[in-house]
Amino acid sequence: MPRQKKQTLKKRKDGRYACRYKSQWFYSTDPEECLKLREEFKEAEKRGRVASYFVRQYALDWLARTYPNPNPKTLEGVKRHITILCDAIGGLPVSDVKPSDIKGIYATYYKTYSSEYIRHAKQAFSGVFDAAVADGIITSNPARDRTAKPHKGTKGGHRAITAQEREWMLKYCRNHRAFPLAMAMLYAGLRPQEAKALVIERDVDFMAETVTVNQTAHTDPENGQKYVHTAQGKTNRANRTIPLLGPLKMALEGRTGLLITDVKGEQVTRNAWQSVWKSYCAQMEEEINGIKHRWYGQTKEHKRLLAEGKPLPPWIPFDVTPYDLRVSFCTMCRDVTPPIEMHTVIKWMGHTDATMVLSVYDDLPDNREKAEAARLRDSLTTVLTTKP
C-alpha cells in the first residue's frame, strides 16, 4: 500500500494555517494543530458525535435565526461581518474562541475602517456569542471581554471633493458609462444604491426640474452578485424629491433607462459596478495626466528626464469614491451664500435628523471658516465705523 503523502499547509496573511474537510474549515497558528483539528473532527463524525458547535455553522445559523425577514440593506451589512468572522475563525469550536481571537480579527480585517463600521462588526460578533451563552455552549462572551475591545477606526471615511476635482469631472470622461451616475451623486446627493436604481424617464422630470427617489438597489439574497430594486430605502425619509440642478440636467438630457448598466446595457452586478467605477477613475487619471498610469516613467520624454537626473512631473491621482460625491453635494448646499436651510438639506439628503449631516457630511472646511471669519470682521468693522 503506497504511503500517504503528508499535506503541507501554507501560511495565510493573518499568520494562521487553514485546511478543509467537506464544507468545514479549520484554523490554527500551528500547521500540525490545524491538521489535528481536522482529524479530530473526522473521528468525531465517524462516531456520530459531531455535536460540538463550530463558529462557521453556528454563526450562519444565528444569522438565519436572527434575521428571518430582514431589510435587505441590514442583512447585507451584518452578513459581511459574519463572513469575516467565519473566514477568520470559522473552523474553531465556539467554546474554544478566546478574546484574543476576536481582537486579532479587528487587527487583521478592520485596520483601515471607520469607527462606525468597526462598531457594527462588534455588534455582530457580540450577537453571535451572546446567543451561544444563552444556549449554554459557553459561559462568557469573548467578543465582550475588555481585552477584545477593538481599536479606534478612522473618523468618517469620506470627504468633499476639491473645486479642481469637480472641474475635472465636468470636463473629462463625459462618455464613460459611470458619468451619469457620478453626476447624480455629485449634484443630487444620491446614495450609490439609490443612483443604481434610478430610471431617467420615470424619476427625472426635466420640465419641473426635479429628481424623485423612490427605489433603492439592494443585494439580492438569492444571488449576492445581483441587485433587486425596492421602495425600502436606508431611512424612512430615503424616498424624496430633489431639485434637478443644471450640471446634472445637462448630463442626463438625451439619455434614457438606468443611470448605470453593464456593457450589454443590462443592470450591473456588484462586480460589474466595482469594475466600472475603477475604470472611470483610471480614465479620469489618464485625462488629467495625459498618459495612462502604466506608461508613467516609461515614455521617451520621461526616460530622457530620468537620464538627465531631472524629476518626473508628479502623478496626479483621482482618489474619489462614490460617497465622496454625496458628501460634496451636502457641503455644496452649506457653502452657498446664504447656506441652504438645515431642514432642507436633511430632506434632500434623505436623513431623519441633522446628526449625520453635522457629523459626517458637513465638516467645516478651511475656506468656509476663513470666509465666516471675514464676514464677522466686516460686520464688526461696520459697527465700529458707524457714527452714533
Task: Kindly list the distances between the CA atom of residue 120 and the CA atoms of 14, 101, 150, 267, in Å, as whole numbers in the listed order.
Answer: 21, 18, 11, 30
Q: Is 211 helix (H, G, I), strand (E, B) or coil?
A: strand
Q: Do 256 and 368 share a structural domain?
A: no
pLDDT at 51: 46
Q: Do 188 and 60 share a structural domain?
A: no
Residue 26: Cβ within 10 Å count: 25
Global pTM value: 0.61
Q: Do 297 and 274 share a structural domain?
A: yes
Q: Do 189 and 299 share a structural domain?
A: yes
The range of the structural domain enclosing residue 364 comes to 325-383
For residues 85 and 123, give the distance between their C-alpha atoms in angstroms, rounded to a whole number. Answer: 12
pLDDT at 1: 47
pLDDT at 14: 61
Q: Do 241 and 140 share a structural domain?
A: no
End-to-end CA distance of the chain: 111
Question: Per-residue confidence of the chain (388 residues) as pLDDT tens digits?
Answer: 455 556 778 887 767 777 887 766 676 777 887 788 788 777 767 765 554 578 887 888 898 888 877 666 677 788 889 988 988 888 788 888 999 999 999 998 887 677 778 889 999 999 999 998 888 888 999 999 999 999 887 655 678 888 999 999 999 999 999 999 999 999 999 999 999 999 999 999 999 999 999 999 988 877 878 899 999 888 889 999 999 999 999 999 999 999 998 888 888 998 889 889 999 999 999 999 999 988 988 899 999 988 888 888 888 989 898 989 998 998 888 888 788 888 999 999 998 888 777 765 555 555 656 666 776 777 676 555 555 5
Q: Are strands 24-28 and 240-243 parallel, antiparallel or unpaired?
A: unpaired
For residues 59 and 127, give the distance between their C-alpha atoms in angstroms, rounded to a whole number. Answer: 9
Q: Do 337 and 283 share a structural domain?
A: no
Q: Do 296 and 168 share a structural domain?
A: yes
In a domain, 184, yes or no: yes
For residues 127 and 119, give the distance between their C-alpha atoms in angstroms, rounded to a whole number. Answer: 12
pLDDT at 189: 95
Residue from 54, 152, 156, 157 nearest 107 by CA: 152
| Domain endpoint, select from 307, 338, 358 | 307
Q: Do 167 and 293 share a structural domain?
A: yes
In a domain, 198, yes or no: yes
Tally of structural domains, the chain? 3
Write out the three cell numbers for 244: 434637478
pLDDT at 239: 94
As beta bridge partners, residue 24 has: 21
| Domain endpoint, select from 246, 277, 307 | 307
Q: Do 255 and 296 share a structural domain?
A: yes
Q: Do 336 and 291 share a structural domain?
A: no
Q: Do 187 and 127 share a structural domain?
A: no
